[in-house]
Amino acid sequence: MATRGAAKPFCTRIERAAWVDRRLAELYPETPVPLDHKDAYTLLIAVLLSAQCTDKRVNLVTPALFKLADTPAAMARRTVAEIDAIVRPCGLAPRKAQAIRELSRLLIERHGGAVPASFAELEALPGVGHKTASVVMAQAFGVPAFPVDTHIHRLAQRWKLTNGKNVEQTEADLKKLFPRGHWNALHLRIIFYGREHCSAHGCDGTVCEICRTVVPDRKRAVVTKK
């Protein structure tokens, strides 16, 4: 694996970010969307379900859900109880079930049954926060966005790319550091790397290749700020 070897430590966030960007592109040249979906609507539902739930579990649940209903019109005709019975393994039910049914109804009422390609309109839907809207804008519509989940928030702190005060600050810092055209692929690459090499328990900021390379003189574990 390519490393920086004995070169002098990075002095700035910009230097660290540039190296991280290059290295992640080498490690993950392809960036498949982790959540199974067939269109913007099924992606929106899958991302909503992924809150406080693993992508793996969501992908186990959505086939049955989309067999029940895979369009806003069909989902709006289902009861919350029917939806809840399927999505319960994803947690936060029946709140997620209620949001899925209501946002489906609103897509018909306000948007002609289509998922809007607008941050403001997406975030106006039940159960859809900024992170969910960012994922949909990036992965369904190709609009540059930088969704920050727990993996990205943790790694950005470990790599000294942000002070980590909150996810909003982390998103703003990362958008300043990385080229806009890289955001959509890069946020997935960071997630892939975090799961594979720099997980919450598998690395403490001193173990994995990127941590050791961008902060080579670190001696103590990094305590992630929420």
Told to judge if 38 belongs to the known catalytic residues of this protein, a careful annotator would answer no
Q: In whole angstroms, what is the distance from residue 50 CA to residue 159 CA? A: 25
Which of 84, 96, 131, 160 is labelled catalytic?
A: 131
Q: In whole angstroms, what is the distance from residue 129 CA to residue 43 CA? A: 14
Told to judge if 67 belongs to the known catalytic residues of this protein, a careful annotator would answer no
The answer to whether 13 and 174 have CB atoms below 8 angstroms apart is no
CB-based contacts of 43: which residues, under 8 Å, 6+ apart? 33, 35, 37, 135, 136, 139, 140
Q: In whole angstroms, what is the distance from residue 62 CA to residue 47 CA? A: 11
Which of 36, 55, 70, 149 is labelled catalytic?
A: 149
Q: Which of 135, 137, 140, 136 is nearest to 152 (CA)?
A: 135
Ramachandran class of 221: left when φ > 0, alpha when ψ lies in -120 to 50, beta otherwise: beta
The catalytic residue positions are: 131, 149
